[in-house]
Amino acid sequence: MKSSFFKYIFIFILFVSLIPANAQTVGIRDTVLMGSRFKITLVDIDAISVEKNINKAIDEMVRIENLISDWKPTSQVSRINQNAGIQPVKVDQEVIDLTKRALYFSNITEGAFDISFAAMDKIWKFDGSMEEIPTSLAIQKAIEKIGYQHIIINEEASTIFLEKPGMKIGFGSTGKGYAADKARELMLQLGINAGIIDASGDITTWGNQPNGEPWKIGITHPFRKYKYAEILTFKNAAVTTSGDYEKFVMIDGERYSHIINPKTGMPSTGLTGVTVIGPNAEMCNGFSTSIMVLGEEKGLAFINQQEEYAALLITDKGKIIRSKRYKKIKKKLK
């Protein structure tokens, strides 16, 4: 799994043209949310409207951050964590629904994806301070606090309970994609017919650029500097990439990825990057994280079962592999 701070994505928006057409105005703003860089791009009728609606998109994502960010002590997710092994915590239906979708990934991947991985957040460090790998004992103690089966949802009471003391949940793997999806949903409700929400690499798009061209997104190749592994042309779609080629630690000549297998407590191996395309950024992110942990063979078998999603995998040897529906879904999302 990946922490929200440790997710380094290599997706670039390739603007064909931002020259306004038909009296349209493009507004672009960078901001920091959920500990990461977000970029909001909207196409609207005039500059004033663009700025007002960018503010509304940011407000919506801030609302979600305040609800689910586990590093904000007042958030509902933090209160769930603070009461692990003590008592259930009453939460909004939105938090229950987000947790249920995360548990869906846990169930279909048999634990390769697990939001209770957050309990391991102090074991591996990728901020430059780590000089030796965690001891087997430290990893084992952390693993003992992981287990999606111990996340208890009571829909009638609207509560979530973590059965084990010391358990933690976190939405670093799906929260930014969810925020991007909700911002897009709000913008469409407000009549904004085109834009991109780039939530630190969890991207959702709709409509066209002002010149009528679809949005273009480039996926960089980890082994070929300044080269793209793929250029995607999208209208209404989402794309996320999980990758280990920038965030890692070198210890005794060995390279350790920041994407950790919740079952073993050790970094994932075999794949360097996974890009997932589909209609929903939250789901794309869950799939890309899961595939990184599952590895090439199991990851491909997993994504090939999904009707609306496809993946591009890059192995640690530089080989590019596309899932069986990749071309079909890529064409459908144009």
Is the pLDDT at 119 greater than 90? The verdict is: no
What pLDDT score was predicted for residue 3?
Answer: 38
Whether residues 182 and 55 share a domain: the answer is yes
What pLDDT score was predicted for residue 283?
Answer: 96
Residue 106, domain extent: 73-162
Residue 173 annotated as binding site? yes
Is the pLDDT at 1 greater than 70? The verdict is: no
Q: Among the listed ranges 106-110, 119-123, 301-305, which one has the minimum average pLDDT value?
A: 119-123
What average pLDDT does the structure give for the chain? 89
Whether residues 140 and 52 share a domain: the answer is no
Confidence of residue 255 (pLDDT cuts 50, 70, 90): confident
Instruction: Please name the residue that has the structure tokens 């199991």.
Output: 298
Long-range contacts of 18-23 (CB under 8 A, 24+ apart): 18/209, 18/210, 19/210, 19/211, 20/210, 21/210, 21/211, 21/212, 22/210
Q: Examine residue 142 and state whether it is found in any structural domain, yes or no.
A: yes
Measure the CA–CA gap between 119 and 3, rounded to whole angstroms.
Answer: 11
CATH number at residue 107: 1.10.3980.10
Of 126 and 105, the one with more pLDDT: 105
Is the pLDDT at 173 greater than 70? The verdict is: yes
Confidence of residue 16 (pLDDT cuts 50, 70, 90): very low
Model confidence pLDDT, tens digit, residues 272-300? 999 999 999 999 999 999 999 999 999 99
Q: Examine residue 172 and state whether it is found in any structural domain, yes or no.
A: no
Is the pLDDT at 307 greater than 70? The verdict is: yes
Residue 24: strand, helix, or coil: coil
